[in-house]
Structure 1
Amino acid sequence: MFFSKLTSFAVPAILTGLLTCTTGLAERPPTGVPEGVEKVLRIEPRSGNGRNSEGDFVRLKDGRLLLVYTKFIGTGDHAPAELVSRVSEDGGVTWTSDDEAVIERGEEDTNLMSVSLLRFQDGRIGLFYIRKYDPTPEAKHLFLDDILMRTSLDEGVSWSEPTRIVPKDTPSYSVLNNDRVIQLRSGRLVVPLAVHYRVGWPGYRKSAEMVCYLSDDGGTTWQRSTSALSSKSLAQEPGVLELSDGRLMMFCRSGKFQLLSYSDDQGDTWSDLTPSTFTQPTVSPASIERIPSTGDLLMLWNNGDDELAMKKPVGRRPFTAAISKDDGQTWQNIHNVGTDPEGWYCYTAIEFVDEHVLLAHCEYPRLN
């Protein structure tokens, strides 16, 4: 896992961190780091730890930053994994060197991964993640999973027992990306999910069903959105953003572009998915968040219009930042922040700290 710092809000200064896996490529340092980007941490694999990825940040009340991420034994998405943490006391410039256990795997857990951390309006910290488990006999997929929420009243020292977001009587396999859960100005919590399989379906759907789970009581109870979106194009890994006018924008990874949908009732019903204007060289998620100091949007994605996107081997590169001053209608200040030829830049967590933005993401070598 890499951490980058970017320091100007024309494109914000970036501190990046990297979660990596072991290959021969890791013997050289990553390249393609432009001016204005500082690499401040690389969490490399070790014996019994083949991959680190999909984390998120939260700012603690004493000013420290907490990072929680997925620590894998193997390298695949379904390999055994647990949630661990690191802490920074200086805005993300330096970090503790030891992994601290956050949520350990239980006997019936095959994998815990894909963290979203969120400071609730009531002061609690919410921790959202995926728990994968072996399928029931009637299931027609390799794994089923739970989407879980825990909360902390003591700044991440301890966590509550988990709350199920998807009901137990709806066994399924869904994907919640890291750094995706949001709380609206109204207080509503929104969890965007890509449902790839539900028990009773004939099989796994590569193009998933997009739904949102919503809570108006701080996460005590959850209800599914009325809309369940599908697309003839590939649709996966949704994210949600609240716009200035109160509408919500959903963005989903697809083949050559991100797909977009909008809701004007706080995530209950959604418009049909339509292609966006920002293209990408391969299937990969984007990340979009609002810059607190300016109100502009910051997007990180793999820019398909860049000449590097046309070069072989084609992967999740370049890693590009852009700013929108009109709630995503147009994008400007487009700059690459990562161009390593072996870089696969994705699963980005974003945290704005003072005059820079901190990013944690997969980068090098390749996807892991």
Structure 2
Amino acid sequence: MSGPKVDAIAVDLAPGDGFARHSEGAFATLADGTVLFVWSRFDDGSFHDNAGADLVAIRSSDGGVTWSEPELVLSRHDDDAINVMSVSLLRLQDGRLALFHLRRKGFHDMRLIMRISDDEGRSWSEGRCCIPAIGYHVTNNDRVIQLSSGRLVVPAAFHRARDVGPEPSFDSWATTYFSFSDDLGETWHESRPSVLPYGDSRSGMQEPGVVELADGTLWGWARTDQGSQWEMSSRDGGETWSVPRPSVFSSPRSPLSVKRLSSGRLVAVWNPVAAGPGQYRPPSGWNDGRTPLVLAIGDGQATEWTDQIVLEDDPDSGYCYTAIHELPDALLLAYCAGSAVHDTNCLTRLRIRRISTTT
């Protein structure tokens, strides 16, 4: 990747017309070169995570410059769920396309579901659950990966239910773990959890992600309320993990997104809060510090990173939950971009930006 150039916004999906929120999607390139983008559309008048939402899609035949009208992919009613959200799309090594999404039944049960398409996303199989244990398990959008070995790895954060009863409440403190499958999703197993070692934390380790590095090591991370993303690594395909520690990514309690490019280099998108680790400034305002949104390119071992490229920096907006997709001549980014001036919450507006990677 050379000479990245931040281009114009290609799509800007604002709340309204009966839809309270557009958010948390993922991309895939189809066999004919069409780019598919699937996201969660909330339609019952509420933008909250536990409101009603379905999965919808748009398509681009010109590399992300122009896009089709939305079409329904999956209704929450098909899964007897409160909502279906937080999409990952993955081209499997056998050539098929996989769709992953959260299925929310309530604070007692939210788990990731996997579906397969044999016809390039025109239809999808019945869902298979990727999380063996019942509970509230968060997997962000654009997070699921397949290793060079063929193993599928799902990063997840477990939040326990505070109360036992018909309507248990949500505990924001989370542990991070990784679910993995060696038979393309037929059976799943869990790693041991990673825990933030601070008693005063209200977040624990939330919304984790993972990439495979050039040497085969897995590098994982999770957001915290301690001023940075915390990181851990695995040398056995995600079954065991190192003790978590602060990473170089300063951050409010917002997600970091990282993808491995075809060159082997890494691209990271996140909200920095300070010049470096140990210089945390508490976020202020309605967006919880989720501005600016920046991008950096790293080497294949995540040890060296370029200077930050500012993608968005409106102080009255919040940017988060980024999906990253590589094309031959560009990167496509999709992220929440709600404005305090125009929107009810930073999660309600979805933006797609095209970044040229040729000079």
Q: Same fold (TM over 0.5)?
A: yes
Give the whole-Å Cα distance in 2 for the aligned partners of 1:133 and 1:367. Answer: 21
Amino acid of the residue matched to residue 121 of structure 2? Answer: G
Task: Give the equivalent residue in structure 2 for 1:37.
Answer: 7
Deviation of residue 48 (structure 1)? 2.0
With over 3 angstroms needed to count, the CA separation of the structure-2 counterparts of 1:89 and 1:277, relative to structure 1, is same
Q: What is the CA deviation profile of residues 61-88 of structure 1, one whole-angstrom value per residue up to 9, with x for unaligned ones?
A: 0000000100002211111001010000
Deviation of residue 329 (structure 1)? 1.4
Q: What is the CA deviation profile of residues 23-46 of structure 1, one whole-angstrom value per residue up to 9, with x for unaligned ones?
A: xxxxxxxxxxxxx33201111223
Q: What is the CA deviation profile of residues 185-234 of structure 1, one whole-angstrom value per residue up to 9, with x for unaligned ones?
A: 00000011101026998974422121111111111111112x21111243
1:148 corresponds to 2:117: no
Deviation of residue 342 (structure 1)? 1.8
- Asked if the contact 2:161–2:171 (Cα under 8 Å) also holds between the matched residues in 1, the reply is no
With over 3 angstroms needed to count, the CA separation of the structure-2 counterparts of 1:273 and 1:200, relative to structure 1, is farther
Task: Give the equivalent residue in structure 2 for 1:367.
Answer: 347
Give the whole-Å Cα distance in 1 for the aligned partners of 2:161 and 2:147. Answer: 28
Task: Give the equivalent residue in structure 2 for 1:19.
Answer: none
Task: Give the equivalent residue in structure 2 for 1:258.
Answer: 229
Amino acid of the residue matched to residue 329 of structure 1? Answer: T
1:130 corresponds to 2:130: no
Map residues 16-165 of structure 1 onto 2, 5 A cutoff.
Answer: 36-73=6-43, 74-97=46-69, 99-106=70-77, 108-134=80-106, 142-165=107-130
Q: Gaps (5+ residues) in structure 2?
A: 340-345, 349-359
With over 3 angstroms needed to count, the CA separation of the structure-2 counterparts of 1:222 and 1:315, relative to structure 1, is same
Task: Give the equivalent residue in structure 2 for 1:244.
Answer: 214
Give the whole-Å Cα distance in 2 for the aligned partners of 1:204 and 1:69. Answer: 24
Deviation of residue 133 (structure 1)? 1.1
With over 3 angstroms needed to count, the CA separation of the structure-2 counterparts of 1:301 and 1:295, relative to structure 1, is same
Give the number of the structure with larger relative contact order, counting CA–CA contacts within 8 Å between residues 6 or more apart. Answer: 1
TM normalised by structure 1 equals 0.83
Task: Give the equivalent residue in structure 2 for 1:346.
Answer: 320
Amino acid of the residue matched to residue 300 of structure 1? Answer: V
Map residues 219-368 of structure 1 onto 2, 5 A cutoff.
Answer: 219-225=185-191, 227-231=192-196, 232=198, 233=201, 234-255=204-225, 256-280=227-251, 282-292=252-262, 294-305=263-274, 313=285, 315-365=289-339, 366-368=346-348
Residue in structure 2 matching 1:181, options 144, 167, 178: 144
Classify the secondary structure of the residue corresponding to 1:106. helix
Amino acid of the residue matched to residue 251 of structure 1? Answer: W
Deviation of residue 295 (structure 1)? 2.0
Give the whole-Å Cα distance in 2 for the aligned partners of 1:37 and 1:252. Answer: 29
Classify the secondary structure of the residue corresponding to 2:58. strand
Give the whole-Å Cα distance in 2 for the aligned partners of 1:367 and 1:203. Answer: 22
Aligned length: 324
Classify the secondary structure of the residue corresponding to 1:209. strand
- Asked if the contact 1:132–1:143 (Cα under 8 Å) also holds between the matched residues in 2, the reply is no
Amino acid of the residue matched to residue 171 of structure 1? Answer: I
Aligned Cα RMSD in Å?
A: 2.2
Classify the secondary structure of the residue corresponding to 2:16. coil
Classify the secondary structure of the residue corresponding to 1:207. strand
Q: Gaps (5+ residues) in structure 1?
A: 1-8, 14-35, 135-141
- Asked if the contact 2:55–2:84 (Cα under 8 Å) also holds between the matched residues in 1, the reply is yes
Give the whole-Å Cα distance in 2 for the aligned partners of 1:91 and 1:155. Answer: 17
- Asked if the contact 1:171–1:199 (Cα under 8 Å) also holds between the matched residues in 2, the reply is no
Amino acid of the residue matched to residue 101 of structure 1? Answer: L
Amino acid of the residue matched to residue 174 of structure 1? Answer: H
- Asked if the contact 1:250–1:260 (Cα under 8 Å) also holds between the matched residues in 2, the reply is yes
Task: Give the equivalent residue in structure 2 for 1:33.
Answer: none
Classify the secondary structure of the residue corresponding to 1:76. coil
- Asked if the contact 1:346–1:363 (Cα under 8 Å) also holds between the matched residues in 2, the reply is yes
Greater Cα offset, 230-239 or 356-365: 230-239
Task: Give the equivalent residue in structure 1 for 2:173.
Answer: 207
With over 3 angstroms needed to count, the CA separation of the structure-2 counterparts of 1:47 and 1:257, relative to structure 1, is same
Give the whole-Å Cα distance in 1 for the aligned partners of 2:30 and 2:137. Answer: 30
TM normalised by structure 2 equals 0.85
- Asked if the contact 2:157–2:177 (Cα under 8 Å) also holds between the matched residues in 1, the reply is yes
Give the whole-Å Cα distance in 1 for the aligned partners of 2:146 and 2:62. Answer: 26
Deviation of residue 311 (structure 1)? 8.9
